[in-house]
Amino acid sequence: MTATIDIAIIGAGPAGLAAARQAARHGASVLILDDNALPGGQYYRQAASPALRQIARDVFDESERAAPLLEALRDARVRYLPEATVFALFPDGVLAYVRNGQTESVTPRSVIVATGATERPVPFPGWTLPGVIGAGAAQNLMKSQRVVPGCCILVAGNGPLALLAAANLVRLGASVVEVLEAAQSRSPWRHISGLVREPAILLRGIGYRTTLLRHGVPFRDGHVVVEALGRDRVEAARVAPINADGVIDHNRARVLTVDTVVASFGLVPAVEITRALGCEHRYDAGKGGWTPLRGPDLQTTKDGVYAAGECSGAAGVEKALLEGELAGAAVALRLGYDAAEASVTMRRVQARLARLERFRAAIEALYVPPSSFSALLTDDTIVCRCEEVTCAEAQRRLDDGATELNSLKAVTRMSMGRCQGLNCLPTLARLVAERTGRPLADIELPRPRPPMRPVSLASIVAEPGAGDVESR
Amino acid sequence: MSNSSLRLDGDRGRRVDITVDGMPCSAFEGETIAGALFAAGRAHSRHTPIRDAVRGYYCGMGVCWECALVVDGRPNVRACMTLVQTGMRIETQAGFGPPMAP
């Protein structure tokens, strides 16, 4: 059940698709694996039926905008496997995935990891109540379902994605009560030299603010949601301003009647695969956390393993597309295809990426939150959703001397549940750093081990059916 | 905006009838279970094994497993990743859900 191909790409989002298109263009054979039913990732998430795609097309035209990228999937050199969950990439280069309830594997000559990013978990009291959803979750309801999440919505968090989700909700006619941005208002003029590098993206951002203004939706800088209230669903949210010194001012808290809280605190790069492989990573708060170290060709510290897009630092779709293109060209060059052409592509894309990085740095500076979100935690706040561990329990274990993530994990089972730590590790790392006085960059994350995604034991032991010749 | 209009206006195509905890519920082809539940004003999927706390759709992209529920007797089906199909029986999941059939 092992086939050899030039490049396996993990993830069919903007970076993965751009990489596939570029690599195939240079002559390489490509296999794209993605756990979703449709290609496009989160950014180009499409509705599953033609009828749904026709609804609200003035706001969401993902299918049309993704069309040139999706062309790549029609290339004879590209094989695309949807609903394929990659659960292991072994050091000997064998990549294992589950599809249709069965395990299959390939041994590609190179791998491009384009796994994207996930919502940054920021626990606050009540954040596990149904009706508290991430910005990505809100976007997906809108994009793929043409449904808005509630009747009365609070959008709160940190970073441009909260603003984007709020603007989309408003454009679709949803009632957004307020939009809260934890960062204090800063003058954009100090960062103007970076911002003007990407006028189109800048204009888009201004457009989101204008949409809120036009619809009379209050946008408050230096405010945060401090509690979601309700029994079986959000019924209200307590919000509070953050003082100039970074302290949440609970005396000035207000309660808003809402049935939905869209909580958006940015993204965390999905680096389980590169970490499990032992690629070197570095912590960079501005990029969303740990990201793989890469050379100018986007190769990680493991030979033949490349990382492209949000999994190497969350910075938006433009960067993901460019990095995909760069990685696709770099791998093709490495494998000996079309060398002159690939080098030209790489140089062009590298110059463009440098400009984008200056823009990203300016945005990062504008959205620096005033203080640690740990101030939102109360004793009863759940920090690990899967294993239902509260902040008080985690703190007690820290008191008992479990001041490394691995020991904390061993005594509480935190990060061992179905999400495999995606919803708790950033918080736990923060708690350990604050307790020990060490910088976050010094906190060692537990090494992910296969299976990195929940797959049934039955599917791991099942042999591919006799009819499944294409994967042999 | 009332609950009945959480689905955006427009022709949604073929109707798909499902049941949710025994109650009939209308959905449309191409909707996920999560989409159909949210459109019906329902955000929860399950009760947790340890604290019996109510949870639901949170990440919307198959990562957090908070929206896991029981579909046609099978536990741990993610509402956000699963399209509705005619006759689907969807149930709130209690704890780890019913044991899987062999």
* pLDDT (tens digit per residue) in A427-446: 999 999 999 999 999 998 88
How far off is chain A from B54, nearest CA to CA, in Å? 6
Cβ atoms of A297 and A330 within 8 Å: the answer is yes
pLDDT at A451 over 90: no
Mean pLDDT of chain A: 92
Residue A137's pLDDT is what?
98
One domain, residues A125 and A109: no
Across the interface, do A49 and B32 touch by the CB < 8 Å criterion? no
Measured between alpha carbons, how far is A121 from A383 in angstroms, rounded to an integer? 9
Mean pLDDT to the nearest integer, A231-254:
96
One domain, residues A128 and A112: no
Best of A133, A169, A268, A382 to disrupt the B interface by mutation (most B CBs within 10 Å)?
A: A133
One domain, residues A243 and A125: yes
Mean pLDDT to the nearest integer, A337-359:
92
Phi/psi for A163 (5° steps) reads -65, -45
One domain, residues A20 and A108: yes
One domain, residues A258 and A127: yes
Confidence of residue B99 (pLDDT cuts 50, 70, 90): confident
Mean pLDDT to the nearest integer, A308-314:
96
Asked, for residue A363, whether it belongs to a domain, the answer is no
Q: Which of A56, A134, A141 sits opposite B38 (nearest CB)?
A: A141
Asked, for residue A369, whether it belongs to a domain, the answer is no
Higher-confidence residue of A422 and A472: namely: A422
pLDDT at A2 over 90: no
**Residues A82-98 pLDDT 10s:** 999 999 888 888 999 99
Residue A205's pLDDT is what?
93
CATH number of A207's domain: 3.50.50.60
Q: Which of A49, A147, A232 sits opposite B44 (nearest CB)?
A: A232
One domain, residues A171 and A306: no
Domain count for chain A: 3
One domain, residues A418 and A394: yes
Mean pLDDT to the nearest integer, B5-19:
95
In terms of residue numbers, what domain contains A253? 121-265
**Residues A56-73 pLDDT 10s:** 998 988 778 899 999 999
Best of A122, A146, A390, A420 to disrupt the B interface by mutation (most B CBs within 10 Å)?
A: A146
Residue A247's pLDDT is what?
95
One domain, residues A126 and A249: yes
How far off is chain A from B41, nearest CA to CA, in Å? 7
Residue B1's pLDDT is what?
39
Asked, for residue A459, whether it belongs to a domain, the answer is no
Asked, for residue A465, whether it belongs to a domain, the answer is no
One domain, residues A72 and A141: no
Helix A317-334 vs helix A339-366: crossing angle, to nearest 10: 150
Residue B101's pLDDT is what?
61
Determine the residue type at A468: D
Cβ atoms of A341 and A12 within 8 Å: the answer is no
One domain, residues A157 and A214: yes
Best of A99, A147, A153, A232 to disrupt the B interface by mutation (most B CBs within 10 Å)?
A: A147
Residue A160 structure tokens = 């441009």
Mean pLDDT to the nearest integer, A198-211:
94
Which residues does chain B have within 8 Å of residue A137's beta carbon, measured at their own beta carbons? 57-61, 80
How far off is chain A from B93, nearest CA to CA, in Å? 14
Asked, for residue A222, whether it belongs to a domain, the answer is yes
Asked, for residue A286, whether it belongs to a domain, the answer is yes
Identify the CA nearest to A321 among candidates A11, A12, A19: A19
How far off is chain B from A133, nearest CA to CA, in Å? 4
Residues 6+ apart with CB under 8 A from A55: A47, A146, B8, B9, B10, B11, B12
Identify the CA nearest to B1 among candidates A207, A22, A259, A69: A259
Residue A465's pLDDT is what?
45
**Residues A141-156 pLDDT 10s:** 999 999 999 999 999 9
Q: Which of A48, A130, A148 sits opposite B43 (nearest CB)?
A: A130
Residue B2's pLDDT is what?
40
How far off is chain B from A229, nearest CA to CA, in Å? 13
One domain, residues A142 and A256: yes
Across the interface, do B61 and A118 touch by the CB < 8 Å criterion? yes
Across the interface, do A151 and B44 touch by the CB < 8 Å criterion? no
pLDDT at A470 over 80: no
Prior bond of A439 cis (ω within 30°): no
Determine the residue type at A213: L
pLDDT at A461 over 80: no
Confidence of residue A3 (pLDDT cuts 50, 70, 90): low
Across the interface, do A137 and B54 touch by the CB < 8 Å criterion? no
Boundary of a domain, candidates A265, A294, A324: A265
Across the interface, do B57 and A130 touch by the CB < 8 Å criterion? yes
The percent of residues in chain A predicted with pLDDT above 70, rounded, is 97
Q: What is the pTM of this model?
A: 0.94
One domain, residues A224 and A318: no
Measured between alpha carbons, how far is A398 from A129 in angstroms, rounded to an integer? 26
Residue B4's pLDDT is what?
55
Asked, for residue A426, whether it belongs to a domain, the answer is yes
pLDDT at B3 over 80: no
Q: Which of B6, B45, B48 sits opposite A147 (nearest CB)?
A: B6
